[in-house]
């Protein structure tokens, strides 16, 4: 498991970043990889800890720490340290379908559980994973794995986000004939249109989709199941159906009526418009601004409501557009800078996270864009209904109910308001089309540990089942759902869940 004394000899070294003022001129990925020698040293830091919590996915105090895919992290870190990159890749893809996605966008639950992090710096598991898969593509180790025998069973996967892709990948390798339906013009779901290019370049998704096509998976885009094609048509043609449509019902904000007030947008709609324009024109800001077929934040005072990853992505995107200012509102209090005594390792650290968008705003505007314990109270428009200002107010919570703090109101300029306050479950029309039961949380109902819905032959995976979550959880759900669907079709399964 790495070098026995590696964690004592080598310090943690992250991938370096392109300087802020250079990277905000384009939408390219900006993390620069370490040299091969340096990356091997980082693999050497994985100690012989005996009980590797990094791969455990333990639930502690209601939060998970460790990898939901149960990646065999010590094994591939050891192979990485010894220069056995192909073997490291072989161990990595045993449990992970798309390391090139998680290696870019996962918040690294594995690192939070690394024992080196108890009194020092955790192993760079996230960066090591990305290095291994990218070296695999670079050196030709990643090749199409075409099933030798087909089962004769046909499966439809509705939705091509990470859970749908994972389910399709697993079932295809098992020998089933898989067709993936996607309502957008390109596969990928929120990977394609919910995560900006500088965080996940779209060529990375296209590379994987093309590989899956070579392996036999069929992708049908621009088809909205439940609208363009009926559930009866799908069920007639396929032996099993997997719903993987995500939890895309955006949470609303009181008074934020985008039909009456011009300048209010849901965050994902805003991010999608930028990505679509970039795919048509290129990745520089100059190329983006050549057209007007997207929601532009140039020369605008932008306010982002919501302090999660999507809110941060909005900050990074509007900065690249050339906004005048950006403010981020978060209703909850600011987390502490360091772990509190009541939040010890290996629990998920409830600490302040300053992400790339925050860093860029701090450097450009001289201050952290985040304002905590604050929400929007009022919207001020001009005579044409264009948003010009908002009134913000401090909030407090009593018996889990939010209250505005009297006398805390403040007026700030705002030409564009982006709502990144999360999601409230799935968009119902696809679930209704298949007549599956929903939970109180507006997710598709299954048994507690299962993936079969209330409708025979219809399974569900990912955010549509568990609610808004992480890419790594979506992949884990897709794998587990595929195994259950395979067992349903064949009477047994040899698909590995983790």
* Whether residue 497 has pLDDT greater than 80: no
E-strand spans in 310-367? 325-330
Q: What is the pLDDT of residue 467?
A: 94
The C-alpha atoms of residue 341 and residue 63 are separated, in whole angstroms, by: 17
Strand 240-243 to strand 416-419: parallel, antiparallel, or no bridges (unpaired)? unpaired
Q: Which residues contact 10 (CB under 8 A, 6 or more apart)?
A: 41, 42, 44, 45
Residue 3's pLDDT is: 82
Q: Is the pLDDT of residue 2 over 80?
A: no
DSSP codes, 195-260: S-TTTS-HHHHHHHHHHHHHTT-EEEES--BTTTB-HHHHHHH-SEEEE------BPP-TT--TTT
Put residue 174 in one of left, alpha, beta given phi > 0 → left and psi -120 to 50 → alpha: alpha
Q: How many angstroms separate the Cα of 6 from the Cα of each of 1, 2, 47, 137?
A: 10, 7, 7, 28
Banded model confidence at residue 102, pLDDT cuts 50, 70, 90: very high
Q: Which DSSP state fits 262?
A: B
271 or 259: which leads in pLDDT: 271
Residue 93 near residue 169, CB atoms below 8 Å: no
At residue 145, the 3 state secondary structure works out as coil
pTM of the model: 0.96
Which residues 6+ apart lie within 8 Å of 414 measured at CB? Answer: 263, 301, 302, 303, 327, 387, 388, 389, 390
**What is the residue-averaged pLDDT of the chain?**
96
Q: Is the pLDDT of residue 259 over 90?
A: no
The alpha-helical segments, DSSP class H, found in 289-342 are 309-321
Q: pLDDT tens for residues 167-198?
A: 999 999 999 999 999 999 999 999 999 999 99
| pLDDT at residue 308 in the model | 93
Q: Return phi, psi of residue 2, to 5°.
A: 70, -160
- The whole-angstrom separation of Cα 375 and Cα 404 is 8
Rounded to whole angstroms, the Cα distance separating 450 from 335 reads 35
Q: CA-CA distance, 266 to 422, in Å (whole number)?
A: 10
As a whole number of angstroms, the distance between CA 419 and CA 306 comes to 7
Q: How much is the pLDDT for 210?
A: 98
**Count helices and strands in the chain by DSSP H and E runs:** 19, 18
For the cut 80, the answer to whether the pLDDT of residue 498 exceeds it is no
All CATH 3.50.50.60 domain ranges of the chain, comma separated, are 154-249+424-490, 264-419
CATH superfamily of 154-249+424-490: FAD/NAD(P)-binding domain (3.50.50.60)
Angle (CA) 361 367 368, round 5° = 70
Distances (CA, A) of 299 to 181, 413, 467: 39, 12, 36
Across the range 250-261, mean pLDDT stands at 90
What is the per-residue pLDDT for 135? Answer: 98
**Model pLDDT for residues 323-342, shown as the tens digit of each residue:** 999 999 999 999 999 999 99
pLDDT of residue 47: 87
* 348 neighbors 112 (Cβ within 8 angstroms): yes
Portions of the chain given CATH number 1.10.1060.10 = 6-138
What's the CA gap between 319 and 298, in Å, rounded?
8
175 and 150 in contact (C-beta within 8 Å)? yes
Q: How many CA atoms lie within 13 A of 83 on its CB side?
A: 3
Among 411, 355, 369, 375, smallest CA distance to 251 is for 375
How far apart CA 414 and CA 300 sit, in angstroms, is: 7
pLDDT tens, 343-375?
A: 999 999 999 999 999 999 999 999 999 999 999
Angle subtended at Cα 46 by Cα 350 and Cα 342, rounded to the nearest 5 degrees? 20
Q: What is the pLDDT of residue 184?
A: 97
Q: What percent of the chain has pLDDT over 90?
A: 92
Q: Are strands 374-381 and 387-398 parallel, antiparallel or unpaired?
A: antiparallel
User: Which CATH superfamily groups domain 264-419?
Assistant: FAD/NAD(P)-binding domain (3.50.50.60)
Architecture (CATH level 2) of domain 6-138: Orthogonal Bundle (1.10)
- The residues facing 138 across adjacent strands are none
């Amino acid at each position: 498991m790495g070098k026995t004394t590696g964690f004592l000899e080598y310090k943690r070294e992250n991938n370096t970043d392109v300087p802020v003022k250079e990277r905000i001129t384009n939408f390219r990925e900006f993390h620069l990889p370490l040299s091969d020698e340096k990356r091997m040293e980082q693999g050497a830091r994985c100690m012989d800890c005996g009980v590797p919590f990094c791969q455990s996915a333990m639930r502690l105090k209601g939060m998970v720490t460790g990898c939901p895919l149960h990646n065999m992290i010590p094994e591939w870190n050891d192979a990485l340290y010894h220069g056995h990159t192909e073997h490291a890749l072989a161990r990595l893809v045993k449990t992970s379908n798309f390391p090139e996605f998680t290696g870019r966008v996962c918040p690294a639950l594995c690192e939070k559980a690394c024992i080196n992090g108890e009194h020092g710096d955790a192993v760079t598991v996230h960066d090591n994973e990305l290095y291994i898969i990218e070296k695999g593509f670079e050196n030709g180790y990643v090749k199409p794995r075409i099933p030798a025998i087909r089962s004769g069973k046909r499966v439809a996967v509705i939705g091509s986000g990470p859970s749908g892709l994972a389910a399709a990948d697993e079932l295809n390798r098992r020998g089933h004939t898989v067709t993936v339906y996607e309502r957008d013009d390109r596969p990928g779901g929120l990977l394609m249109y919910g995560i900006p290019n500088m965080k996940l370049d779209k060529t990375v998704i296209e590379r994987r989709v093309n590989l899956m096509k070579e392996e036999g998976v069929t992708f049908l885009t621009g088809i909205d199941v439940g609208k363009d094609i009926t559930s009866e048509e799908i069920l007639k043609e396929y032996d099993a159906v997997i719903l993987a449509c995500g939890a895309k019902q955006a949470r609303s904000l009181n008074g934020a009526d985008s039909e009456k007030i011009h300048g209010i947008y849901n965050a994902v709609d805003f991010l999608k418009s930028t990505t679509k324009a970039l795919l048509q024109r290129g990745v520089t800001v100059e190329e983006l601004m050549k057209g007007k077929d997207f929601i532009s934040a140039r020369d605008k005072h932008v306010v982002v409501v919501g302090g999660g990853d999507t809110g941060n992505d909005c900050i990074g995107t509007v900065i690249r557009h050339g906004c005048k200012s950006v403010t981020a509102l978060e209703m909850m209090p600011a987390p502490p800078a360091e772990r509190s005594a009541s939040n010890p390792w290996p629990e998920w650290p409830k600490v302040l996270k300053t992400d790339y968008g925050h860093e860029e705003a701090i450097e450009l505007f001289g201050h952290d864009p985040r304002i905590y314990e604050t929400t929007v109270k009022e919207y001020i428009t001009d005579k044409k209904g264009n948003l010009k200002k908002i009134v913000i107010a401090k909030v407090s919570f009593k018996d889990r109910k939010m209250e505005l703090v009297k006398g805390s109101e403040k007026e700030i300029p705002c030409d564009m308001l982006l709502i990144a306050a999360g999601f409230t479950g799935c968009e119902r029309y696809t679930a209704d089309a298949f007549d599956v039961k929903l939970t109180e949380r507006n997710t598709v109902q299954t048994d507690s540990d299962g993936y079969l819905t209330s409708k025979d032959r219809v399974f569900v995976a990912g955010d549509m089942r568990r609610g808004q979550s992480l890419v790594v959880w979506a992949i884990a759900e897709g794998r587990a759902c595929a195994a259950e669907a395979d067992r349903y079709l064949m009477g047994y399964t040899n698909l590995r869940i983790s």
